[in-house]
Structures are given as structure tokens and as C-alpha cells.
Amino acid sequence: MKILITGANGFLGHYLVKQLLDKKFNVVATGNGENRLPYSGSEGFEYHSMDFTNPFAVHDVFEKYKPEIVVHAGANTKPDDCELNQWKAYVTNVEGTVTLLLNAEEQKSFFLFVSTDFVFSGEKGIYQEDDERAPVNFYGKTKVEAEDAVKEYEHGWAIARPVLVYGQPLQSRSNILSIVKEKLEKGEEYSVVNDQHRTPTYVEDLAAGIISIIEKRATGIYHLSGKDELTPYEMAVKVAEHLGLNSGLIKKVSAATFTQPAKRPPKTVFIIDKAVEKLGYNPLSFEEGLKKTFG
């Protein structure tokens, strides 16, 4: 089975490709620029540079590889950047998704789209898959539009929504845990919000959930987050305690303290019962995720 992945050079892509190769899938990894994955020469692995916003480039890749499965993990996932550069964000997150869908349709590929908790307003707080979407920033709006395009696809589709993905950073890609570690090791203070609530997703759990969707050809929307509700401040303190660093350097602040271009939803806590029941999804606790991230 040939699986084409967009955004393969990214944080999720690295782990997803590894797990797929471990399961003996044939993987066509795509990304902007040269291959940054350490799997060259691995059986079943091919890399092809592809800008998925370029219809001609996408067409050529799909014609060459004819993938049975497409995992669209590529996106502009930075809310502030999306807010400040809305047209660019729209082209990447919405038009790019539509371009991939059109080409997948020609091959009758199964299409799996990686979305986000930011499709929700955060006002309700606790969300199931079919709850009303009402994004509070432009990034979330682009993901809602992309989801809607995926739902119109005729050859089998799934949408995976994670929350605040964390884990061992790779290829100099940072996430909240690595930033906290770096700041505290330098003895620097770090301000973190304590009025936003999440169920953070360990990156290897997310990859495993996606693979379960692929193996079962499970259609529909699936919430793939962790079990534990935490604020970013609470996450940061747990990192400090786990690593034996000075948690006193972590300053508790509110979202109003920051003048960020993009508003964030106050509370996105996911109910994952559907993924547990249908996919056998079994995410680690945050403490277990910390141990796997830092040892």
C-alpha cells in the first residue's frame, strides 16, 4: 500500500513516517525543499520535493506515484503568522488542500486530513467531534474551510484533530516542552499562560492514531488528543519538575498579558471516546509523555 504524506519534514511527519516504515508501508514523503528525514535508503521510503500549493507539481507527483492513501499533514500551523499573512495562509491551508483533493480524486485515494482544536471557539470548553465549529482566529477559519472541502470528497475521507502536539523536538523544531527546557537551563524567566486549557497530544500517540485510521480505513472525524487537561503553565511546571530545573523561573500570566495578533480559544478539552472505541486509541498520560520526551 502506497501512502503519500505532505508536510513530511515537519514535527508530526518525522514520527509518522517512522511508524509507517516500521509497519512495512510504502511511503512517499513530500515536503518543501530537500529531504530532512533520516530514512533515506530505508526499504519502502521515497522522498519527493513538492509544493502542494502548486497544482502542476501536485499533478506530476500523483501521476507518478498513484497513492492509495494521502495523509495531508502539511499546513501553516502558526496562528500569528496566519493572522498577519491571511492570503498566504488561505492559499496554503485551503487552496492547497483543495488541490490535493482534486488529484486524490483522480486516483480514488483515501484522504486523511490533519486538522486542529482551533476550529472551536473554546467557549463550550469540552468538545466532541460533531460539536459546532466557531474559530476565533484566521488559522482556525482556514482549517474549517479545509475540513469542509474534505467532507465533500467522494472516495473515503477522515479528519484527525489533535490538541497542542508535544514531544521530543527534531531537526531544531521547538515545541512548548523544548522551549521551557532551553529557557530554564539558561536560567531565564519564562512567562506562560495559565488561563488556557488543553488536552495536549503526545506526537507518537497522534502518529499511531493516524495509522489506526489508515489500517481500518475509518471514515469521519476523530479527536486524537491526550487524556489530561492542563494549562500551558501547568505543562511548563511539570517539565521543570521532571528535569529537576527551577520552576520558580516560570511566571504565571494570563492571555491578556500577551499582545498576540491571533486570539486563542480559552478551553479546548477533547472527548476521545470515539477514537478509543473505534480505533483502539490509547494515549499516554502527560507524565508518561514527558518520560518518553526527555527520558
User: Could you read off the pLDDT of 181-191 as tens digits, one per residue?
Assistant: 999 999 999 99
Superfamily of domain 2-165+201-229+268-284: NAD(P)-binding Rossmann-like Domain (3.40.50.720)
Query: How confident is the model over 210-235, as a mean pLDDT?
Result: 98
Query: How confident is the model over 18-35, as a mean pLDDT?
Result: 96
Q: What pTM did the predictor assign?
A: 0.97
Q: How confident is the model at residue 246 (pLDDT cuts 50, 70, 90)?
A: very high
What are the structural domain ranges in the chain? Answer: 2-165+201-229+268-284
- Please tell me the distance from the alpha carbon of residue 182 to that of residue 197, in angstroms, as a whole number: 23
pLDDT of residue 171 exceeding 70: no
φ, ψ for residue 73 (rounded to 5)?
-105, -5
pLDDT digits (tens, 9 = 90+) for 49-70: 999 999 999 999 999 999 999 9
pLDDT of residue 173 exceeding 90: no
pLDDT of residue 172 exceeding 70: no
Residue 149 near residue 97, CB atoms below 8 Å: yes
Q: How confident is the model at residue 176 (pLDDT cuts 50, 70, 90)?
A: confident
DSSP one-letter string for 57-94: HHHHHHHHH--SEEEE------HHHHHHSHHHHHIIII
